[in-house]
Structure 1
Amino acid sequence: MRPQDEEAALLALPPAAAEDSRAYGPHPSQVIDYYGVGGGRRLTVLHGGFWREAYDRAHLSPLAAELARCGYAVALAEYRRVGGGGGWPATFDDVAQAVETAWDGAEHVVLGHSAGGQLALWAAARGGVSGVVAVSPVADLGYARELRLSDGAVDELIGAEGDLAAVDPVRLPPLGVPAVLVHGTADVDVPVEVSRRYAGVAGARLRELPDVGHYAPLIPGSAAFPELLAALAEVEGHDVPPGGAEAAATQAPVPRSKE
């Protein structure tokens, strides 16, 4: 798949219906969808879209359903976004609440993509999660602001004069939990250098995917999807099966009972 075709391929996937949903607040965007509720290790998933209202969790529902088929229990969280009551601090309040309550305090890994990757790293820095996987994350907000990614999305999120200190992953304390970044070298939405800068500061593991763009690791069946599964296995402390990431795609996590 060519990098320029990845977005269309992801958005062409039919939405997958959740097995259950739970509101964590009164706003329509304060909701979590659940997939694989009887499955094994728990994930909380945060979607991207440069924090804007135009992009919601629906485009990651096929991913959530596929991860459930791989043996995970998945909480796909929605949150208020810029243009729909979000921005600083509402977006962050919602993500904190969703991550804290999705599994009623039980151990879980947080997985985020793009802007959701930034939110996942921010949430992990607050504590309460066992690990984080960030796919093409906006992991350096200051650098993203300099690059004016997505026509100045960072300024929309926190304001042109907003203080990055409390929300920028590169400026936050060390996570204290395993962190793996997955980033395609052909990503034009969030250049791989953003993740390189974060990894250099935070000591996170960075998996660079040659000739991969912004979306491929999220597309079940794509050549890059096994790299996401391998990153999840790595952050959970499991060896990648013999044969590497490709084998990880066919080895579901060992289920465990829900506390």
Structure 2
Amino acid sequence: MATKLFYGPHEDQWGDLYLPDPGGAAPRGTVVVVHGGYWRDKYSAELGTAAAEDLVGHGFAVWNLEYRRAGSDGAPGAGGWPTTFEDVAAGIDHLATVAGPSGLDLHRVALLGHSAGGHLAVWAAGRHLLPPDAPGAGPAVLPAGVVSQAGVLDLAAAERLELGEHAARNLMGGASAERAEPFALADPARALPIGTPVHAVHSRTDDTVPFAMSADYVAAARAAGDPAELHEVGGDHFAVIEPDKEAYRTCRRLLERLLP
């Protein structure tokens, strides 16, 4: 059973904390689940529930994170730049507050993000390199690695391809030509190298986020010296978050590699 904890005053600043059986062994590590949905507020942390329940059953503590998202269907949202990024950073760092009472080891934390959540998870793994005044700078929790599930790992490409009906512009509050600095700070593809392992899991038949997003990111990351790996799986865009699919089980095995 999960415990809902708030990391800020807004109604969307919360996460569900799942802990393994308290009578058993200590958690093998903590997985922060960052859900997708093209950063729009019509999608919520419910997208991460199935993975969270599966992972806690395999001995992980899980922090299924909600955050303020950009608007949907023409209506304004509470998130977007920089709020969404500040929330993801604050939500991950909140583990430092709950670690002691919950028995969590802050040196054994991995991030798992799907689609737009993959973008946010990989961005968060590079927070230690952000300028001091940038949103999300100065992390209190440094992840051991990231598993990106069909992640939107190149924000400039997402804008160019008009993915999710201009989802990148919706997130950032405008086009990159007008908001060059925020786009640069928000784009994982512009942050290399980050020095953190990134496992990009993606299907060539994904018709929501192109396979090239992961393939190109991993190629650039490896060229920059990062320990990034590409893992090709089958299925559609959502197979990587469905515990009964082999694509998802690949993600779980990679988390077990990151948190052995």
What is the TM-score with the length of structure 2 in the denominator?
Answer: 0.80
Task: State the Cα deviation string for residues 84-138 of structure 1 (Å, max 9, x = none).
Answer: 3100000000001011112437121111110000000010001421111110000
Aligned equivalent of 1:12: none
Runs of 4 or more above 4 Å deviation: none
Structure 2 counterpart of 1:95, one-letter code: V
2:13 to 25, 30, 51: 30
Whether 1:152 and 2:166 are equivalent positions in the alignment is: yes
Whole-Å Cα distance in 1 between the matches of residues 111 and 246 of structure 2?
A: 23
The Cα shift of 1:173 comes to 3.4
1:162 matched to 2:179? The reply is yes
Shift in Å, 1:162: 2.3
Contact 1:36-1:69 within 8 A present in 2 as well: no
User: Which runs of structure 2 are paired with 1:5-16 in the superposition (5 Å)?
Assistant: none
Provide the aligned length of Structure 1 versus Structure 2. 219
- Say which SS state the counterpart of residue 66 (structure 1) adopts: helix
Q: Distance in 2 between matches of 1:229 and 1:103?
A: 24
Higher RCO (C-alpha under 8 Å, 6+ residues apart): 1
In the alignment, is the contact (CA less than 8 A) between 1:182 and 1:231 conserved in 2? no
Alignment partner for residue 141 of structure 1, among 155, 159, 164?
Answer: 155
Partner of 1:255: none
Secondary structure in 1 matching 2:189: helix
Correspondences of 1:27-106 after superposition (within 5 Å): 27-37=10-20, 38=22, 39-83=27-71, 84-104=77-97, 106=106
Percent of pairs with identical residues: 38
> Any stretches of 5+ residues in structure 2 without a counterpart?
72-76, 100-105, 129-141, 223-227
Q: How does 1:193-208 map to 2 (within 5 A)?
A: 193-203=212-222, 204-208=228-232
| Secondary structure, aligned partner of 2:186 | coil
Tell me, yes or no, if the aligned pair for 1:44 and 1:77 is still in contact at 8 Å: yes
- SS at structure 2 position matched to 1:166: helix
Q: TM-score, normalised by structure 1?
A: 0.81
Moved more, 56-65 or 45-54: 56-65
Please tell me the root mean square deviation across aligned C-alpha atoms, in Å: 1.4
- 2:19–2:60: 8 Å Cα contact kept in structure 1? yes
The structural deviation recorded for 1:176 is 1.3
